Amino acid sequence: MKNAKQKNEAQLMKPIKFSITAQLYDELQELLPATNCRNFSELLRLIIEGKKIFARYYDDLPDELHQQLKEYGSRISKLSKEMVQIVHRLQFRVPTDTEVILADLKAIQCIYDQVDVMLVPLQVLLEKIASRWIIGDAVKDNECINQQPSSLS
């Protein structure tokens, strides 16, 4: 049985009227898809009640970089498998024909050339990643490591 002194929820609820600027409305509309709210009124209610709103700020750049690194990894893996096959062929078949040996060595040289061509954009990609996620002091330390001492040059 209900206590007569307790009010039910319907009696405790009171409508709140407020106004927001057009700029704030636009900002909240842009924020809405990134939040855990289903609609705009739910977002406003959570703001008024002062509850936590979980917003997902998602940057596509890490995914693009990850995809590019994955592609480079698969290409290098394919080239290394080709290299292993050629070396295996040279090691275990022991071809006596010099033309076969020269053809295999040319194939190995071609693989090395392909890897060299891939390393330049891969280095640029890794520098882009480093500049984005490495803090200033770490970048300075990295630059010091990459520089040769003057006594060696």
Provide the Cα torsion 90, 92, 94, 98; round to 10°. -10
Distance CA 141, CA 135 (A): 10
Q: Report CA torsion sign: 65, 66, 71, 74.
A: positive
What is the value of pTM for the model shown?
Answer: 0.44
Q: Where are the domains of the chain?
A: 17-58, 60-146
75 within 8 A of 118, measured Cβ to Cβ: yes
Compute the average pLDDT of residues 109-117.
88
Distance CA 34, CA 57 (A): 7
Region of poorest pLDDT, from 46-50, 90-94, 129-133, 143-147 = 143-147
Q: Where are the alpha helices (DSSP H) in 9-97?
A: 9-12, 22-31, 40-49, 60-93
User: 20 or 12, which is more confident?
Assistant: 20
**pLDDT at residue 58 greater than cutoff 60:** no
User: What is the model's pLDDT at position 145?
Assistant: 43
**pLDDT at residue 55 greater than cutoff 70:** yes
